[in-house]
Structure formats: structure tokens, C-alpha cells
Amino acid sequence: MTVRLVAAAPAFFDTFLSIYDAVTGERLAENDNVADGIPDSEIEFTAEAGRHYLIRCSSARPEATGTYSVELK
């Protein structure tokens, strides 16, 4: 499974994406930038059947805000 966080125009901002175990709160993965110069975030991981996850979408800078979309593939 791939989870991608994409900032929308016109207010592009540096996104930050985290995935947690929804029961234990353990952080399983995080990503700031897909690649150099691309501020969108992406995590590729294998989801386990019967396990619950929490996806946290935020910005890399606390003061930054904007519109974004979350894509699951």
C-alpha cells in the first residue's frame, strides 16, 4: 500500500506524513519529502489484515497550513 500526502495549489507547503499503530500508538513510518525538491510526502508499507492504523497528516513547519489531499493506492 502507498499513502501519499499532496499539498494543493495555490498554497503549496511542505507536508509531513506519519503512520501509527492505532492500538499501541507506535509510529511505524514517517516521511517529509518524496525526493529532493518535492515537498509532498509518501510512505509505502504493507498493511496487515485485522490491524488498525492511524494516518497523521501535517506540515514540516508548525506555522504552515494549506489544503491537501491524501491518496491511498
For residues 44 and 4, what is the distance between their CA atoms, to the nearest angstrom?
A: 9
DSSP 8-state secondary structure symbol assigned to residue 61: S
Q: Which residue has the higher pLDDT, 65 or 10?
A: 65
Q: Which residues contact 24 (CB under 8 A, 6 or more apart)?
A: none
pLDDT of amino acid 51:
95
**Domain range summary for the chain, segments of one domain joined by +:** 2-62
pLDDT one-digit tens code per residue, 14-68: 888 999 999 999 999 999 888 887 788 889 989 999 999 999 988 888 888 778 8
Please enumerate in sequence order all residues whose Cβ is within 8 A of that of 31, keeping only pairs 6 or more positions apart, or say none: 16, 17, 41, 42, 43
> Above 60 in pLDDT, residue 71?
yes
Position with higher pLDDT, 2 vs 43: 43
pLDDT of residue 65: 79
Closest CA to 20 of 58, 62, 43, 52: 52
